[in-house]
Amino acid sequence: MLWHDGRLIDGTTLPFDLTDRGLTLADGVFDTALALAGRVAFADAHVARLVASAEALGFSVPADAARTAMHALAATGDRLAIRTTVTRGIGPRGLAPPPDPRPTLFATAAVSDRRIAFAPLRLWPTAIARNETSPLARLKTLGYGDAILAARDARAAGFDEALFCNTRRHLACAGTGNVFALFGDRLVTPPLGDGVLAGIVRAVVIAELAPACGLACEERSATRAELRRADAVLVTNSLRLVAPVAAIGDTAYATDHPVLMRLIAALRDRVAAECGVPASVVA
């Protein structure tokens, strides 16, 4: 199912201009949101981030259209991953954007497996650095090549996901999520300047769930060595929500730490309230 130009369309194929810079140069941004029972969790935050990301690249996303697309697709299933993509639109050959870009917006919905919510993950430390010197490391742009390569290596090594450090060897993020480490009653997560996407669930954990669970939350740089001493590690993203990390390479972590369980319960309730469903529907 596809949303484009104001309407829902069966299938995913459309007339498309192959000089669209999203396709030719990865010149665009996207967002992935969870929808339960017809409602998008944290919809305003998702739309706001999409608009801000495009702004950072220098073009405008019509927020209303993005919101309409997400809501229209949300109504087409019970538990959906909604992906909204905005590119800078078509352009002539070369890197220079057209002076007056006409962005392309489309969105797709796919069934989201309930079992990935809160499921433990094993992370493989990739040798590919997250490039925090680029503003793009903080934006959800279309350029996912490094994450694809690192995920391939992780799976080949028998792990679920890659873990990235940045060029200064500070902890950055998982291939598709933010990372938090727990030390006693403190949560630590890398600041955006370390090459980290401003995750929607990350923000909810920092602003709401950590305080509600009696945890201090610090946005600061951390090293892999420090991470080895963590009491627990977790990955956040909009579909996995909070994933307990069972291992990073050969370092094992408890996935049933009581603080983790409190965070999971709090996020389950929060998402349930967002979507107007019982907590048991979330996971």
How far is the C-alpha of 78 from the C-alpha of 37, rounded, in Å? 5
DSSP letters spanning 110-155? EE--GGGTT--EEEEE-SSPB-TTSGGGGS-BS--HHHHHHHHHHH
Stretch that binds its own copies, among 8-16, 63-71, 185-193, 261-269 (CB under 8 A): 8-16
How far is the C-alpha of 243 from the C-alpha of 53, rounded, in Å? 25
Token pair 């002076």 is found at 99
How far is the C-alpha of 85 from the C-alpha of 66, rounded, in Å? 9
Q: From the list 83, 228, 257, 262, which residue makes contact with its own copies (rule: CB under 8 A)? A: 83
Beta carbons of 75 and 38 less than 8 angstroms apart? yes
Question: Strand 178-183 and strand 232-237: pairing?
Answer: antiparallel
As measured in angstroms, the least distance from the Cβ of 219 to its own copies is 22
Query: Of the two residues 38 and 143, which places its CB atom closer to its own copies in the complex?
Result: 143
As measured in angstroms, the least distance from the Cβ of 58 to its own copies is 7
Other CB atoms within a 10 A radius of the CB of residue 224 amount to 15
Query: Of the two residues 135 and 276, which places its CB atom closer to its own copies in the complex?
Result: 135
Query: Of the two residues 194 and 232, which places its CB atom closer to its own copies in the complex?
Result: 194
Query: Of the two residues 97 and 218, which places its CB atom closer to its own copies in the complex?
Result: 97
Tell me the three state secondary structure of residue 163: strand
Query: Of the two residues 194 and 206, which places its CB atom closer to its own copies in the complex?
Result: 194
Q: Which residues sit opposite 86 in a β-bridge?
A: 29, 105
As measured in angstroms, the least distance from the Cβ of 170 to its own copies is 13
Question: Strand 186-189 and strand 216-219: pairing?
Answer: parallel
As measured in angstroms, the least distance from the Cβ of 124 to its own copies is 13
34 to 53: interface string for its own copies, x by CB under 8 A: --------------------
As measured in angstroms, the least distance from the Cβ of 183 to its own copies is 28
Stretch that binds its own copies, among 39-47, 63-71, 122-130, 253-261 (CB under 8 A): 122-130
How far is the C-alpha of 5 from the C-alpha of 10, rounded, in Å? 13
Beta carbons of 103 and 91 less than 8 angstroms apart? no
Diameter of the chain by CA atoms?
56
As measured in angstroms, the least distance from the Cβ of 182 to its own copies is 26
Token pair 């087409």 is found at 76
Query: Which of positions 130-189 make contact with its own copies (CB under 8 A)?
Result: 131, 133-136, 141-149, 151-152, 155, 167, 175-176
Q: Is 84 in the site for its own copies (CB under 8 A)?
A: no
Stretch that binds its own copies, among 65-73, 92-100, 216-224, 240-248 (CB under 8 A): 92-100
Query: Which of positions 97-116 make contact with its own copies (CB under 8 A)?
Result: 97, 106, 108, 110
Query: Of the two residues 95 and 225, which places its CB atom closer to its own copies in the complex?
Result: 95
Through-space distance between the first and last CA atoms of the chain, rounded to whole angstroms = 24
Binding site for its own copies (CB under 8 A): 2, 4, 12-20, 22-27, 30, 57-58, 81, 83, 85, 87, 90, 92-97, 106, 108, 110, 127-129, 131, 133-136, 141-149, 151-152, 155, 167, 175-176
